[in-house]
Amino acid sequence: MDPAPHSTAPREKSIWPMFAGTFVLFALFAVFVFWMLRSGDAASFDEEAIRAKERYDILAKVQEENKDLTTGYGWVDQAKGTVRIPTDRAMAMAVAKLSAQSEPRPAYSIDPNIPLGSVVKPGGFAAAQPTPPPFNAPTPVAAPEAPVAEPAPLPLASPAP
């Protein structure tokens, strides 16, 4: 007895099970990635957000220290007797001191021996000077004046008779 004859023709296979399996694996991978991203804190993965939070914390700390320095009293140098007072109080004291003066005075002493047009003013600041002409600039030569002839007088029109 002969066993069942074997067919030599290739069997026709369908690609749909392989396509469906690939799609299912891709969907499972996408769900896994989505779950991983949602389970953690998004800011913990973002370097820029972490640095921004650190900068904000440093700024808040510096602003708090500056607020303490500008609104509070304290010693700057106790040996010299230098104290720190609030800015508002210092401005009020400066206004009171300036209003007690009879007239405004310069911030530095004025030396009458220094001319007013000098390059360096008494305070040590350079004054603006006009720009000099270029080094090789030709000097303008005055053109000789030609005698100007006087125009001939126009005849007077006589009125019509």
Q: Which residues neighbour 17 within 8 Å (Cβ) at sequence distance 6 or greater?
A: none
Q: What is the DSSP pairing of strand 82-84 with strand 74-77?
A: antiparallel
Residue pLDDT, tens place only, 14-61? 888 888 999 999 999 999 998 887 877 666 667 888 899 999 999 999
User: Residue range 128-152: average pLDDT?
Assistant: 64
- In angstroms, rounded to a whole number, what is the distance separating the alpha carbons of residues 81 and 94? 19
Instruction: Note if the pTM is more than 0.75.
Output: no
